[in-house]
Structure 1
Amino acid sequence: MTVTVAEGVDLWTSSGPPAASGAAMVLVHGGPGLWDYLAPVAGLADDLVVTHRFDQRGCGHSSGPVPSMTDLLDDLEALRVHWGHERWIVLGHSFGATVGLAYAARFPDSVQGLVHCSGVGPGTSWKTDHRAASAARLTAWQRMRRDLLGQLEHRTWAEEVEWRALSWLPDFADPDRASAWAHEDARVHLTINWDANRALNAEVDGEPESLQRDRCRAVRCPTLVIHGDGDPRPTWSAAEVADLVPDAELVVIPGAGHDPWRERPEEFRAHLRAFVSGLS
């Protein structure tokens, strides 16, 4: 179903069945500029809480102009009000972890708990390690092909799938299954909103690092920072979030990449359910 928020923007949403606990969890996808892909994660806890997923404005199946971070936070709060939850658990993945943390800092009375999954901490210094780790997981030919396709002004669908797969392949720690997972994601027939990607990345990267640290310190809810040690985004950056947020626990899952629920499903499921159960 769609939910209309500010400026007449229609957000695509999907909700699970009600939970006996009455608790709720919203899942915030990454990108920026992508779409919801977190149905498998919602399914790990939808017997404990009612789960809500959505496409961010201007992305996936949702309408709207290029958003700012303020827009994304306001949309989250509008969805909470629409669904009638006094408070809810916020699970953000990748860039969605940045959104979720900012939401928890701005709307502390709305957030029961925060799951910061496969995200990064303040500043941009993590990007150097990320680029190096990602490059190391591609052959020289794959890097050349990825860069060549990325420079094309227009790509055929086959070229788009190839480029996405080469770009996302390094996110997986398992070399035997990385290509299959990357191609599975790449074949989703939705358009990446590059204007949103550029605008939101520029906004976050342009913030003073001191402001980002203060935002972490402003989060008052229990927080689970969960990260795969095989994620090319460095673990030390996620650990910094756990150090700064007052009530945070860091869980590092061995052998997991950027999507830990895929590569280490049992470990991820156990940690997520333990955290959610402790809140609800």
Structure 2
Amino acid sequence: MTDKARLRWTALGDMTRQPPVVLLHGGPGLPDYLGDVAPMIADLAPVYRYDQRGTGRSRWQGSHSFARHVDDLAELLDAWGVPEAVLIGHSYGTDLASRFCLKHSDRVAAMLLLCGPFVGDWRTGDRAERGRRMSPAQQQRLRELEGLPHRTEEQEVELLTLAWFTDHADPGRGWRWAAQGARQRRPVNWAMNSELGREGRMDPLDEHLAELRVRLPARAELLAGAEDPRPVSALESLALRLALPLTRIEGAGHEPWLEQPDAVRAHLRRFVQGAVVPQSAGG
């Protein structure tokens, strides 16, 4: 990057084809975890993924801002020789995709927002639903772990498992996925999470929705797990404000490709085909 940071990226598929797909992972503060999603569409278009700065193999120390993360994506597109891309963001990645579109709408060929962005007072409903999915003992243990000034490796894994298993519709499988993620999606950059969370509260995406609606590409959609603890009603409101179609995947939570892979694969393939085939046919 222009500030000498080094970002790790990977690509799957024929990199000469345009436009490519760029997968934007969530967090903030987690390394890329969308390796199971990329093969679903890599035969239709090349798929780029990267660890956001300060996560995974993109090792970096310093402060974080939305502007810097937006600039990172623009610089990566330049490095890849990509004038424009199809953006597919998940969770925090939908916020990043939206803020990138606000600044670089000319570089967004199409955009799919998966399980986000959540605007308005969605956290109240999220906390209530997570509480309903947890036992009193689990809630108490999570509070204890969150309150520790320092955590051991096993305590960190336990905290993340407790925090993440309620993301899924199926609690049994959800616990296994959360425990696996708690060991693989590490280390969590808590400073990054805190800094971008604080900036998001000071400069919420809610205040930019009118401008975002104008700058959205012709092909843009929302996709969500119907049983995500984050209230789907928040995405329904967003869909109305942005005039976008919203598809709900039944029997799936915040990572729908895990619980309903066939449904997610079919939707992503339809979306990507619609985004890249007309351009290639016309070229």
Give the TM-score, by structure 1 length.
0.93
Give the Cα separation in 2 of the matches to 1:31 and 1:206: 18
1:212 equivalent in alignment to 2:205: no
Bigger CA drift: 270-279 or 189-198?
Answer: 189-198
- The share of aligned pairs that are identical, in percent, is 35
Structure 1 residues 69, 229: CA separation in 2 closer, same or farther (over 3 Å shift)? same
How far off is 1:102 after superposition? 1.1
Structure 2 matches for 1:119-198, cutoff 5 A?
119-123=116-120, 125-188=121-184, 190-198=186-194
Shift of 1:241: 2.6
- 1:88 aligned to 82, 85, 98, which one? 85
Measure the CA separation in 2 of the matches of 1:143 and 1:176.
Answer: 17
* Secondary structure in 2 matching 1:85: coil
Going from structure 1 to structure 2, the CA distance change for 1:208 and 1:48 (only over 3 Å counts) comes to closer
- Matching of residue 109 in structure 1 with residue 143 in structure 2: no
Which structure 2 segments of 5+ residues have no match? 277-283
- Aligned residue for 2:245, secondary structure, equals strand
Deviations 1:58-117, CA, capped at 9 Å, x for gaps: 122213322200001000111111101111001110011111111112111100111100
The residue that corresponds to 1:60 in the other structure is: 56
Say whether 1:266 aligns with 2:262: yes
Partner of 1:31: 27
Residue identity matched to 1:150 = E
Q: Is the 8 A contact 2:33 2:185 kept in 1?
A: no
The reply to whether residue 252 of structure 1 matches residue 248 of structure 2 is: yes
User: Unaligned 5+ residue runs, structure 1?
Assistant: none
* Amino acid in the other structure paired with 1:61: R
SS in structure 1 opposite 2:171?
coil
Give the length in aligned residue pairs: 274
Deviation at 1:156, TM superposition (A): 1.3
Q: Report if aligned partners of 2:95, 2:205 keep a CA contact under 8 Å in 1.
A: no
CA positional deviation for 1:189: 6.3
Partners of 1:209 and 1:165 lie apart in 2 by 28
For residues 169 and 225 of structure 2, the distance between their equivalents in structure 1, rounded to whole angstroms, comes to: 9
CA contact (8 A) 2:22 2:87 kept: yes
Letter of the structure 2 residue corresponding to residue 51 of structure 1: V
Cα 1:175–1:72 change in 2 (3 A) is: same
- Whether the aligned pair in 2 keeps the contact of 1:121 and 1:240 (CA below 8 Å) is no
Q: Secondary structure at the match of 1:27?
A: strand
| Residue type at the aligned position of 1:240 | S
In structure 1, C-alpha distance between the alignment counterparts of 2:130 and 2:255, rounded to whole Å: 15
**Residues 19 and 109 in structure 2, CA contact (< 8 A), matched pair in contact too:** no
Deviations 1:156-191 (A, max 9, x none): 111111111001011011122111111010112621
Change (3 A) 1:189 1:169: closer
Deviation at residue 21 of structure 1 after TM alignment: 4.7
Contact 1:230 1:256 in 2 (8 A): yes
Distance 1:210 1:182, change over 3 A: closer
* Aligned equivalent of 2:222, options 222, 225, 248: 225
